[in-house]
Chain A
Amino acid sequence: MSGGDIATVGELLAHAHAMELEAQERYEFLARQMETHNNRELARLFQTLARVEGKHAREIEERMKGMDVPEIGPLDFRWEGAESPEALDLGDMDYLMSPRRALLLALAAEQRAHAFFAGLLERTADEGIRRFAAEFAEEEREHVDRVHRELRKYPEEDDRRHEDMDPAGEG
């Protein structure tokens, strides 16, 4: 993950807030998607993950109060990839996805978020940015641990894609 061009604490907070908010919105979106396709177990899991990300977004909003935080346009974020590191890729979904597979995708997203802040911490000499980057990197590491703990609840055989009863090309 990039983030190397972040030059102020305000820019860092704007990125951190956008990352959490986008992750929350993405999980909410996926929860509705799974409700539509009657995968209720996964809908509940995505709702839970959305609540966790939303809580973090609110916490960052508290930190932003009184700070000079710039508004950043959709094309101007310093993510290396096409989207913020913590958002699940909509293209990875399928309607029969198991909770374990969803959690593996969530794990990868948390790891990308951690790498974003850890990378910034390595590259920047600004003390203010370093302090926040270290704090956010530590929080993301805790999220990684939490998803690992959740994963233990689901057996490894659920990694496979479930058999589609209405398969492609068999119309």
Chain B
Amino acid sequence: MTVQTPRRYKASDFKSDINPIWCPGCGDYHVLLSVTRALAEMGTPPEDIAVISGIGCSSRFPAYTNCYGFHGVHGRSLALATGLKVARPDLTVLVMSGDGDGFSIGGNHFLHACRRNVDMTYIVMDNRVYGMTKGQPSPTTEPDWDSALSPGGTGLSPFHPLVIALASGANFVARTFSGDIRNATRIIVEAVQHPGFSFVEILSPCVTFRPDEREWKNMVHPAAVEPTDDPARAARRIMTDDGFNVGVLYKGRRKPFAGQVAAEAGDAAVFDEEFAL
């Protein structure tokens, strides 16, 4: 008989009792499955994990997990998460966002979170539309996406989050597709375990306002090359791919920012002294 160490957690241990209210068919349901399976795979207790979000469909995420959570202010999830991680480095911090919350309202925080390289994982469910507010174009929307709210399309070049993340100093960059739950689960595990700021873009269809995105499942394909630790090389690859290349694209070696004296001391008195007027 094989003796096994019992697994500590099942994916269901990380799900809350709150019923998600995303539209049926939404890719975010898949992401919820992937994240809870990844957490079960890693075996970190739910009470040692914090799930932070901003505003938008994707940002409902903390309510649907059984971890500590904070459904914060629009675009400010990374600022909040950075403070939390620096103050409580023992926690595993996941930040859940969408393309509007993360790249428009929270765009500036994105740059500086990459630059700071605090050890946390930023998962952006990119559906290229503002779904919660009924279908306005987002920073990643294609310039020719024609809709009632953007007749003829915006004509604007889309934001390229993976390249921006690389240029800004993120230490781990990956893209995956919500419907490929196994691959997404693997990538989330790898992202959380990689030191520093990990950025994972998950292509997550909005079936209500972008029904065309149901086709993404036929468009995604695995990255043909192994991840590199050279950001320039990774950026060249990403700039020339078709946007549906999935896999780990960059794994850097930068040392994560871990705070200074106060965080190391873990002593409230040190904070008080630091901020005394």
> Which residues of A line the B interface, CB within 8 A?
25, 30, 32-34, 36-37, 68, 70-71, 73-75, 81-83, 89-95, 97, 168-171
Contact = CB atoms under 8 A, between A and B. Distances in A.
Interface size class of B (residues with CB under 8 A): 35 or more
B25 A68 contact: no
B19 A36 contact: yes
B236 interface: no
A5 B30 CA distance: 26
B29 A90 contact: yes
B209 A169 contact: yes
Given A25-B12, A75-B182, A169-B135, 4 more contacts: A71-B7, A82-B183, A90-B29, A168-B147
Interface string B1-38: 11010110001100000011101110101100100010
Contact of A92 (B25, B147, B189): B25
Contacts of B189: 75
A70 B2 contact: yes
Nearest to A91: B179
A97 B147 CA distance: 24
Contacts, number: 86
A75 B149 contact: no
A96 to B, nearest CB: 9
A97 B12 CA distance: 27
B148 A171 contact: yes
B24 A83 contact: no
A75 B34 CA distance: 10
B41 A75 contact: yes
Contacts of B208: 168
B40 A34 contact: no
A168 B209 contact: yes
B24 A97 contact: yes
A33 B4 contact: no
A89 B179 contact: yes
Interface string B142-153: 000001110000
B163 interface: no
B155 interface: no
Contacts of B135: 168-169, 171
A37 B183 CA distance: 30
B148 A95 contact: no
B66 interface: no
B138 to A, nearest CB: 14
A74 B179 contact: no
A145 B205 CA distance: 33
Nearest to A39: B24
- Chain B CB count within 10 A is highest, among A70, A91, A97, for A91
Contact of A83 (B25, B29, B181): B181
21 contacts: A34-B24, A36-B21, A68-B1, A73-B7, A74-B11, A74-B40, A74-B41, A82-B179, A82-B180, A89-B179, A90-B30, A91-B207, A92-B25, A94-B23, A94-B24, A94-B207, A168-B209, A169-B147, A169-B209, A171-B135, A171-B147
B37 A74 contact: yes
A95 B211 CA distance: 13
A95 B23 contact: yes
